[in-house]
Structure 1
């Protein structure tokens, strides 16, 4: 009888997984690890054993309650948007992937829940991981890579010889935006701190401004496109270095920026555009191609799963080059 109970107990445990959740808005302290059932595979779902999860500013903005109009206020909530892992099981109608496939992908931006041992995804939320990159690098791509692609595909058309200024270029979006802009033939000026100089140089930046000892706004150069990735160069300041017909891009807009951009765009030839991330399967496919061809993907900090609170405490305050990720064994 005891042997039977132990066997039953073991089976129950095998059907459980660890997941990070929070039950109220707040700082990293509201995050907690919990044990929940492994999600059941439905007809069109794919069950993925997660290997790595990227850390993004959206994570803490949603967790802090800054975006509750989009994310809602229903608890508990999971955290984490982009991930990499291995296909564990597939629904009967999910035919593009099979057990054992190494994949990466992006979940619903405002629901997330990737930071768990297992997740469910649909076929259009994932792509095959290129064999030449690690799980950590693959997890680092979807959000920031999709953001960079969306900027250049939907907000501004970059042509050869265009002058582009990327403020705060050493982070995740900057990593992809700098390299993609260069591939498009643009002349790229990056603004970074001292620790980011070598990285943007490696990514192909034509000009590098160290904000520690130089103010790009006091220079004589004028730009066709200004992309602010640091939230420290508002349109009111950026317009002084923008050409007569040019575009400013805000990558973390709130209600104030949405209203401001509407009125500015009515009256000014210097346009104010907002990045509202909308993941798409074609972005994952394009990122796969970039990764396979050797685009630089820098993961400068890796945290083990059990240090999730430390990760979400340090990353918002730190100055990391490229991306930081959490790994799950």
Structure 2
């Protein structure tokens, strides 16, 4: 089978499509024939070598976290799925390996794919959808009438977060560059701000929640826009950042929280239900596996808004 691997840290040029043996399964596992896998910023941060403490430095490494496909084999201990079922799911966030013709998973790592969405769309759901769900429902506890600012709103997590916050009854201000203005509006944002024309610091309103998905809005600057009892959420955990937020939250009513993605089957099933209920899945561009370097090069350079997906035929 084909699998995308790399044997050293670097840019997208380290990625190679190699032939590998099809993996065997244990009795509590399933073998999934992958139809599509999506691209996430975490992928290139790992193969760039930016997260060695969490990903380790043992090579070769696989790429890709979330996928959609067909159940090809079922272990004797698996109860909920059978050969031929259409599913979507995720692999270990820091080990990856979804960009392969086949992947081995546990039952808890997948959910049934809704018939109303394609494999491309299903592959785009797990990581960014679960991140948005975790931020909106758990970290920020967004509710009716809340004022929510989403910085970096035109990416995969942002476009899901807009929709989820609106479903909670919030008023959403989306901050993006010129290329993302229309898409953020289509997802339901009440106010869309072009950061090339207006500084976030000059916004007149104050917010119950600020979600920074760009990794460019410092908490020191954001807290000036927060209401007295409010929450700031950022991505990309680091030991120093986690420690700093913990001690800050002991003494301040303006909370600082950092997303630590926790993929769960419960979350996947919630996303499946949302997709059946009309959640829009912003797949912007689809590549075939032979163009994996181009795909990662364009997405990491910000040339693709929303989600990019690689298909395996």
- TM-score, scaled relative to structure 2: 0.97
State the partner residue of 1:114.
98
| 1:260 is the counterpart of 2:244 | yes
Deviations 1:166-225 (A, max 9, x none): 001111111111101100011111001122122111111111111121112112110000
State the partner residue of 2:151.
167
| 1:201 is the counterpart of 2:222 | no
| Alignment equivalent of 1:321, drawn from 296, 305, 309 | 305
The answer to whether the Cα contact below 8 Å between 2:298 and 2:304 also exists between their aligned partners in 1 is: no
Q: Which moved more, 1:22-31 or 1:112-121?
A: 22-31
State the partner residue of 2:81.
97
| 1:217 is the counterpart of 2:201 | yes
Map 1:117-266; keep pairs closer than 5 Å: 117-266=101-250
| 1:291 is the counterpart of 2:275 | yes
Deviation at 1:254? 2.4
Map 1:6-85; keep pairs closer than 5 Å: 17-85=1-69
- Taking only aligned residues, the RMSD between alpha carbons, in angstroms, comes to 1.2
Measure the CA separation in 2 of the matches of 1:221 and 1:160. 17
Q: What is the DSSP-based 3-state SS (H/G/I as helix, E as strand, rest coil) of the residue aligned with 1:131?
A: coil
Measure the CA separation in 2 of the matches of 1:102 and 1:300. 22
Q: Which moved more, 1:278-287 or 1:94-103?
A: 94-103
Runs of 5+ unmatched residues, structure 1:
1-16
Measure the CA separation in 2 of the matches of 1:145 and 1:47. 23
Q: What is the DSSP-based 3-state SS (H/G/I as helix, E as strand, rest coil) of the residue aligned with 2:300?
A: coil
Q: Which moved more, 1:316-325 or 1:143-152?
A: 316-325
Aligned residues: 313
Deviation at 1:114? 0.5
Measure the CA separation in 2 of the matches of 1:193 and 1:69. 32
Deviation at 1:268? 2.3
- TM-score, scaled relative to structure 1: 0.92
Measure the CA separation in 2 of the matches of 1:159 and 1:30. 44
Measure the CA separation in 2 of the matches of 1:237 and 1:253. 19
Runs of 5+ unmatched residues, structure 2:
none
Measure the CA separation in 1 of the matches of 2:76 and 2:143. 45
Deviation at 1:270? 1.2
Measure the CA separation in 2 of the matches of 1:317 and 1:141. 21
Aligned structure 1 segments of 4 or more residues deviating by more than 4 angstroms: none
Q: What is the DSSP-based 3-state SS (H/G/I as helix, E as strand, rest coil) of the residue aligned with 1:49?
A: strand
Measure the CA separation in 2 of the matches of 1:164 and 1:219. 13
Measure the CA separation in 2 of the matches of 1:155 and 1:258. 14
State the partner residue of 1:275.
259
Measure the CA separation in 1 of the matches of 2:235 and 2:192. 21
Measure the CA separation in 2 of the matches of 1:211 and 1:236. 18
The answer to whether the Cα contact below 8 Å between 2:210 and 2:231 also exists between their aligned partners in 1 is: yes
Measure the CA separation in 1 of the matches of 2:140 and 2:176. 22
The answer to whether the Cα contact below 8 Å between 2:35 and 2:312 also exists between their aligned partners in 1 is: yes
